[in-house]
Structure formats: structure tokens, C-alpha cells
Amino acid sequence: MLFGYAGRVLYVDLTTGKTYVEPLNEDYAKKYIGGIGLGIRMWLDNSKPGVDPFSPENPLIIANGPISGTMWPTGGNGHAFVSKSPQSYGVGESKAHGSFGTELKRAGYDAVVLKGKSERPAYLWIDDDSVQILDASHLMGKSPSETEDAIREELGDYYIRVAAIGVAGEKLARMACIINDKTRACGRTGLGAVMGSKNLKAVAVRGTNDVTVAKLDEFMEYIKEFHERMKGPATQKYRTLGTVENVLVHNSLSCMPTRNYNNSRFEGAEKVSGEALNDKFVAKIIGCSSCAMRCEHMCVVAEGPYKNTMTRMEYETLWALGPYCGVDRLDAIIKGMELSNYYGIDAISAGVTIGFAMDCYERGILTQEELDGIDAKFGNSEAMVQLVEKIGKREGVGDLLADGAKYAADKIGKDSYKLAATIKGVETTGYDLRCLKTAALGFAVSFRGADHNRHGAYAFDVKGKVNRLVAEKGRGKLVKDMEDTYNLIDSFIVCKFSRGTYYKELPDMAKLYTLVTGFEMTPEQLKQAGERIQNAARLFNIREGLTRKDDTLPWKVMHDPIPDEGPSKGAFVSQAELDLLLDDYYEARGWTKEGIPPVEKLKELGMEDLISIVENKE
Amino acid sequence: MVKVHERKFVSADPDKCVGCQVCEYVCSVTKNKAFNPLKSSIRVVRINQLINLSVTCRLCENPPCVRACPRDALTQSEETGVIMVDKDKCNGCGWCIEACDYGAIMLHPEKKIVFVCDLCKEKGEPQCVKWCPEEALDFVTSDVLAQKARITAVKKLFQEAIKETQKTP
């Protein structure tokens, strides 16, 4: 008997309607832990090289972790979606918390592999051992939240958990996300569109089985200890102002991309600060299943044109819909966020793409007519809200923008690619990479495209542990170590907001793994697992055709020095600096100059089964 | 004999409860050594993101569940007010579940008999109260709940005056 793990994987072929269950590969479980690690490894087994992201042959995998379903604080509740991304054509992965992953574990599954394409709109109903593909025609056009309510109503159980796509996913918008528990999104890399391409509107789960751990008494003691840690300074930021605290911090360091990277600081920052948000709009801070922290800042707009808007806010989405579009009205930003959830789009990608469109408009690349009559000047909050709506519905100019900045630039031409702040086709996040050079490396090599959550390397820059304006040797190792840890966080799955409570990091995580699963795990083995997951992701990308050339940065980051007076003035990342950083990073990883893991490396990590991907490439 | 109004039960504060389900997990672990909210006698209700509340047995006076049981399987402890289920008599018919206005009686998914909060008598105190990270759960009597409500109301009425008194050393 397994502990922590359910020990089973569900396979669903949406084309034929056939479903079957296989035992979890225990070797994979130990080597790749769960979550994104397990998902990435299983994706490689279940797909053919070069598969189109929207092909029925592209599997969409849901994976929870060994901790899911327990009351481990922040860890009981996570799940990951993994597939080939329609934005990057490489690794697509995104996690969400809430209550979906925990329910899936109790239904008895560590992972679900969804293949094929349903003939008609369908949703999957996993009721413990009973798995059915049900008609979803009546759910089409509904928001994820409405879909959740409708499914609960028709299946007659108000505790059923649902992950669903909105209209954007149905219409294959490459920035579409998958939302569970109404406001929790697997937001990045466009997996909502992959789900949509399978004609799959939602996955509904009810799990009634026990989840047990190997060493219950010690586990409960450990939980008690972490409950105490979570009341301490390591999580204070998330429990009080929340991530929106970053607005003023980043602005003071002049590292907050503003108006599509035309500036690095925002004169309206005070108006959209975390302080202002909490003062005027945060109605309650709620928590996920099993969490002892609580971070979810629920905002309500009480008056004005956006009265009665209610949604969760975080820094990245606030930044994207706010400063990045030059918008200084919090009520409009909150509305933009609510609409993003309503239509099921990643609000980061939406904001960055709208910033891109506004830049095109101000430079005369897009006309007001092409923008459906919208006066898309930077700072026009109404225009921002209208464009979110258009993208969400994929209407008018929204059709052009719904695939994100890169794909819009491809269609627009006229050198507009220079204005698209994307890496590997994925929109960047709220860190001005021109003056955060450790972060710049992390973003460039991130296997899921532009992202802060694959490495957290910005911390070295923002906290002043390194000279953030300088690219130098040694940053590669810093990024590598952070990546390995982040891979573990996303594979266990625990919440990144809780990372500070693992005072000893690897030893603490190894102890957790052992108490839950009963498999002895040393910190060294765990470290290696983190490295292994990174290599598996790299192999995924190599197999799908990505190379060193894709480990790059947005055009503006490399050509447009920061104009603003202040500590970051004049900063940008040159090709020479990027090359130096990449060389240093590949070396730290033990990869070739082209960024390919050599056979020896794969052997060292026990990945002999994947050697064929790099053969003839070294 | 303990008077009815001195009976303590588990009550959640709607201002503090965030719907995290820790109470559900700790209840199921205490009673079943496994994590399974279906085996918890306290359940979270989330109406929307802003409205969360844990609900469990309130040890009613003259409890309708006891009256509803056609097999006399349910009795109320005179001492603590806890509803006791006679495992041999209960056949899981569910009349008590229907009778309870709070949804505080559950049908065990495997044993197919009902169970209800027993205040963790073997542990000396309700474990959900002990573990709640938000301190949203109280083990209290109705009287104390009323007292607290009155104090909160009066504090709100006299906010300014309270600030004044706090200034004086």
C-alpha cells in the first residue's frame, strides 16, 4: 500500500470515450515526485515529437502531488496541468490551489491523462471509480464560475469540485486559462486553449476515499510546527498587504515595467499601491483548503462605474492591467481582473498584450479603426477594460489579441515584434529585466517562457544580494539552485508563498516527503530530483525543437535602455551580457554550450530512458 | 446537574472563518486516522469567497434529531448535551439528518450509520478548536456567545471613548 500517493493514474480518451486506470509508476513517483515533475515525465511518454498543441494527440495531464489531500498547510490543495503549450510550443504547465487537487486525490488518482478530442462539447465527471464523459452543450459560453455552479446543480452535490474553461478556452485563445474554485487559475502558458481544443469544457471531481500518510503522529506534530511558522515573519507579507506590496517596492527600485516597457517606474504607483488596494477594496482575506496562512485578498468595488465587482487581486495581475497599461484606477483594474476570470484568460498575458496594443496604437502601428474605435491610449482605463472584454470574447480586435502579444505581432508585422514583451511566446511579468540581471537570466532560461515563478531569481536583485545592474559569472549557479527548489515546490505541490517557512529548505522538505510517503528521502536525493525535473523539462523543449536561441529576452529589454531618472537609468541587457549569463548557467547545469544535457548528465541523474532525445544533438 | 445553558458547543465566528477546512481534516484524523472531510462532523460552507462558515452540532435543547429517530437510536447526554448514537439501533435512515436545521448530522460513508460532534471527549477538548489557524472556532456556551456579541456591539458604539481611555496611562 502506498501512502500519500493514491497509486493510480486515470487515462481518458475523449475521442473514443474509453477510460482505464493504470497503477502509478513508483519509480517515476520517487524520481519526479508529482505535480509538474510527474506531469512533464508522463507527457513525454504519452506524446509524439512535434505534436501540435491543438492536436487531439497532445495529452493534457492533471497531476497532484504526494501531499495533496492531507492537511499539510498549503500543500493539501494543489494540482498542476501539464501539456504542450500553444504559446511556447514547449513545456506548458501551471498550478492552482483551492480544493480541486485534494478532491482528485480522494477520488483515488495521482494523475489524469486526457487524450483525444470529444466530438461534441463535453465535461468529464470523475466520481471516485466511476468516470463519465457527459454532454456540455448547455455549458458552452458560460464562465468557469457559472460552469461550476451549473455542474454542482445538475449532479446534485454542492461539494463537487470543478476546473473549467471559459469562452476564451472554447475559442482556443492562446492565453486561455483553467479555473477552479471560482478564482483560482492555472493561468500561464495557455492550457485552457488545449482543453478547449479537446472540446472539454470542465473536469468535475468527487472523491470519497481516505488519504493516509505513513507516519501520522509525527506528521501531525510537524503540521503543528508549521502552523506556528506560518504565523511568523516568513509569511507576513502574504497575510497582510499581500503580493501587491510589490507595487511601491518595485517602483522605488525603478524596476516596474510601465507602459509596455517604455518606462520602469509609474507616476501613478501610489494610486494603485498595495496600501491603497487594502485600504479601499480588500473586503476579506480567505484561504485555500488546509492552509494556515490565508493570502487570497478578495476585493469588492462598492461604488462607481464598476460597482459590485468582486475578485481576488495579486501583484502580477494588478501590475499587468494597471501600470503596464499606464492605468492608475484600481476599480478598473479590479474590473479587468474579474472579466479575465469570467472569460477564462490569464490576466497577466491579457494586461501585457493590451499594453502592447496600446504601444502599437500610440506609435501608429494600429489605428483606432483597427482597434474597433477604442481610443487605446496608455492610461485609458476604460479602453483597458473594453479590450479585456474583447479578448475574452475573441470579438473584433480581440480576435487578433487573444493569442497574446507574440502572435498578434506576427499578424500585424511592421516591426511590431519589437514591442511584444514575450519570451518563448509567453508574456512577461512584473519585473523590469533591464535592471534585474539575475532575474533576466532566470526569465530567459525558464522552461515555460517568461516567468518569475520558475526561479524567483528576482529576489537576489531586489533584495540587494547581488549588484542587479551587472551581468557576471556566478548568476548561473544562483538561478540553477533556485530552479531546482522551485521544481520541488511545484511537484510536491506546496504553495510558493510558504517557501520561507521551510527554514532549512531541502532537509525540511525531505522530512515532509518521508513522513507522508514512507519512502526514505534524503535532502541530497531531493536536490537531485529537483535537478532531474529541470532536465526533463529541458528535454521536453529540446524534443519539441526549442534551442539556445529561444533562451532570450524581449526586444526592448535588449535594445531600449531605461529612460527614467533614478537608480536604473540607462540599464538594458546586451547580447554579450545575455551570452555570458547563458554560458554561465549552462555550465552550472552541466549542459553543453548549446544548452543540451549531455548523456553523462542524464546517466548521473538516472534518466537513461530519455537519452534518445539528445543523441546526435550533442 | 449542569444547567442546559451552560453546555458548551463549537461555534465559528463568521468574521474570522476563511473556509480553510483545517477543522474538517483534523476532525477526520482524530476520529478515523485518515484525511477525509466526509468523515468530519464539522463542515465548511462557502457561499462565495467572502462568506465562509464552519457548521457543527449546536447541542440544541430538546433536539429535533433525537425526536425524529424512529428507532430511538439517538439520545442526548444530560451532562454535556452531546447527541449519542446507538450503533446497534441506527440503520442510517436519515430522519435525524433531515430534522437537523444545521446539517450537523452526517452519514458515515462506510459504516452507513450517522455520526455527530462529540466534542472529542476522549481528547478533553474539541480538536478543531485547538487547531483552527484563524482562532475562528470557539468552545463556548450560548451565554458567553451572547456576552461576546454584547461586548462587540458596545465597543462599536463607544469606539471614540475607548480610544480615550487607552491613552491614559
What is the 3 state secondary structure string of A331-354? Answer: HHHHHHHHHHHHHCECHHHHHHHH
CA pseudo-torsion sign B149, B152, B156, B158: positive
Separation of alpha carbons A495 and A298, rounded Å:
18
pLDDT tens track for B138-158: 999 988 999 988 998 998 898
Q: Are the beta carbons of A260 and A355 closer than 8 angstroms?
A: yes
Selected residue of B15, B17, B29 to mutate for chain A interface (largest A Cβ count, 10 A) = B29
The pLDDT value recorded for residue A239 is: 86
Q: Is the pLDDT of residue A91 over 80?
A: yes
A34 in contact with B, Cβ within 8 Å: no
For residue A329, give the 3-state DSSP assignment: coil
All residues at 6 or more sequence positions from B44 whose CB lies less than 8 Å from its CB, including other chains: B17, B19, B20, B21, B23, B24, B52, B53, B54, B55
Q: Which of A273-282, A596-605, B155-164 has the lowest mean pLDDT?
A: B155-164
* Helix (H) or strand (E) segment spanning residue B115: strand B114-115
Q: What is the mean pLDDT of chain B?
A: 91
pLDDT tens track for A376-387: 999 999 999 999
Separation of alpha carbons A175 and A427, rounded Å:
9
Q: Is the pLDDT of residue B84 over 60?
A: yes
Q: Is the pLDDT of residue B100 over 80?
A: yes
The pLDDT value recorded for residue A618 is: 64
Q: Is the pLDDT of residue B167 over 70?
A: no
Q: Give the HSE-up count for residue A174: Cα atoms under 13 Å, Cβ half-sphere.
A: 23
For residue A82, give the 3-state DSSP assignment: strand
- State mean pLDDT over A580-589: 98
DSSP alpha helices (H): ranges in chain B? 22-32, 64-68, 95-99, 127-131, 142-157, 159-167
- State mean pLDDT over A572-598: 98
Length of chain A: 618
Domains and CATH numbers, chain A: 8-206 (3.60.9.10), 222-420 (1.10.569.10), 433-613 (1.10.599.10)
- State mean pLDDT over A284-308: 89
A99 in contact with B, Cβ within 8 Å: yes
**Do B36 and A211 lie within an 8 Å CB cutoff?**
yes
**Do B50 and A286 lie within an 8 Å CB cutoff?**
yes
The pLDDT value recorded for residue A265 is: 96
Q: Is the pLDDT of residue A47 over 90?
A: yes
- State mean pLDDT over B9-15: 93
pLDDT tens track for A498-543: 999 999 999 999 999 999 999 999 999 999 999 999 999 999 999 9
The pLDDT value recorded for residue A76 is: 78
**Do A210 and B134 lie within an 8 Å CB cutoff?**
no
Termini Cα distance of chain A: 42
Nearest CA in chain A to B132: A292
**Do A106 and B49 lie within an 8 Å CB cutoff?**
no
For A1, other C-beta atoms within 10 Å of its C-beta total 7
Q: How many angstroms separate the CA of residue B18 from the nearest CA in chain A?
A: 5
Length of chain B: 169
What distances in angstroms separate CA A26 from CA A66, A102, A345, one per listed residue? Answer: 12, 20, 35
The pLDDT value recorded for residue A58 is: 98
Q: Are the beta carbons of A259 and A313 closer than 8 angstroms?
A: no
Q: Which three cell numbers stand for residue A566?
A: 533614478
The pLDDT value recorded for residue B1 is: 53
The pLDDT value recorded for residue B161 is: 81
Interface of B with A (CB under 8 A): 18-22, 25-26, 29, 32-39, 48-50, 52, 109, 131, 133-134
pLDDT tens track for A340-352: 999 999 999 999 9
For residue A471, give the 3-state DSSP assignment: coil
Q: Which of A12-26, A41-55, B1-15 has the lowest mean pLDDT?
A: B1-15
All residues at 6 or more sequence positions from B95 whose CB lies less than 8 Å from its CB, including other chains: B68, B69, B70
Computed on alpha carbons and rounded to an integer, the radius of gyration of chain A in Å comes to: 22
Q: Specify the amino acid at residue A320.
A: A
What is the 3 state secondary structure string of A353-412? Answer: HHHHHHHHHHCCCCCCCCCCCCCCCCCCHHHHHHHHHHHHHCCCHHHHHCCCHHHHHHHH
What distances in angstroms separate CA A279 from CA A198, A283, A301, A312, B10, one per listed residue? Answer: 43, 9, 12, 15, 33
Q: How many angstroms separate the CA of residue A105 from the nearest CA in chain B?
A: 10
For residue B44, give the 3-state DSSP assignment: strand
For A50, other C-beta atoms within 10 Å of its C-beta total 11
For residue B80, give the 3-state DSSP assignment: coil
ipTM, two decimals, is 0.90
Q: Is the pLDDT of residue B4 over 60?
A: no
pLDDT tens track for A129-157: 999 999 999 999 999 999 999 999 999 99
Supply the DSSP symbol for B41.
Answer: S
Separation of alpha carbons A288 and A254, rounded Å:
33
- Set of chain A residues whose Cβ sits within 8 Å of the Cβ of B21: 71, 99, 289-290
All residues at 6 or more sequence positions from A162 whose CB lies less than 8 Å from its CB, including other chains: A100, A144, A147, A148, A151, A152, A180, A202, A203, A204, A205
pLDDT tens track for A197-210: 999 999 999 999 99
What distances in angstroms separate CA A467 from CA A441, A461, A475, A568, B39, one per listed residue? Answer: 14, 7, 11, 11, 54
* Residue among A99, A106, A292 whose CB faces B36 most closely: A106
Cα diameter, chain A:
66
* Residue among B20, B32, B34 whose CB faces A291 most closely: B20
**What phi and psi, each to the nearest 5 degrees, are found at residue A409?**
-60, -40
Q: Is the pLDDT of residue B21 over 70?
A: yes
Q: Which of A320-329, A512-521, B159-168 has the lowest mean pLDDT?
A: B159-168
Burial classification of residue B101, based on how many CB atoms lie within 10 Å of its CB (0-12 exposed, 13-18 middle, 19 or more buried): exposed
**Do B21 and A99 lie within an 8 Å CB cutoff?**
yes
Q: Is the pLDDT of residue B169 over 80?
A: no
Buried b (16+ CB within 10 A) or exposed e, A86-124: bbbbbbbbbbbbbbbbbbbbbbbbbbbbbbbbbeebbbb
For residue A486, give the 3-state DSSP assignment: helix
- State mean pLDDT over A59-88: 95
Three-point CA angle A263, A269, A271, nearest 5°? 145
Separation of alpha carbons A37 and A529, rounded Å:
9
For A18, other C-beta atoms within 10 Å of its C-beta total 12
Q: Taking Cα atoms as reference points, which of A596, A439, A102, A296 lies closest to residue B19?
A: A296
For A502, other C-beta atoms within 10 Å of its C-beta total 20
Beta strands in A422-479 (DSSP E): 422-423, 426-427
Q: How many angstroms separate the CA of residue B79 from the nearest CA in chain A?
A: 31
Computed on alpha carbons and rounded to an integer, the radius of gyration of chain B in Å comes to: 18
* Residue among B20, B49, B133 whose CB faces A298 most closely: B49
What is the 3 state secondary structure string of A189-242? Answer: HHHHHHHHHCCEEEEEEECCCCECCCCHHHHHHHHHHHHHHHCCHHHHHHHCCC
Instruction: With cut-offs at 50, 70 and 90, classify the pLDDT of residue B3.
Output: low
- Set of chain B residues whose Cβ sits within 8 Å of the Cβ of A290: 20-22, 25
The rounded percent of chain B whose pLDDT value lies above 90 is 70
The predicted model scores a pTM of: 0.95
pLDDT tens track for A549-568: 999 999 999 999 999 998 89
Selected residue of B13, B17, B18 to mutate for chain A interface (largest A Cβ count, 10 A) = B18
pLDDT tens track for A219-272: 999 999 999 999 888 888 888 899 999 999 999 999 999 999 999 999 999 999
- State mean pLDDT over B151-166: 84
Q: What is the mean pLDDT of chain A?
A: 96
CATH top-level class of B4-142 = alpha beta
Q: Is the pLDDT of residue B2 over 60?
A: no
Separation of alpha carbons A304 and A291, rounded Å:
34
Examine residue A374 and say whether the peptide bond preceding it is cis (omega within 30 degrees of 0): no
- State mean pLDDT over A63-90: 94
Buried b (16+ CB within 10 A) or exposed e, A479-489: bbbbbbbbbbb
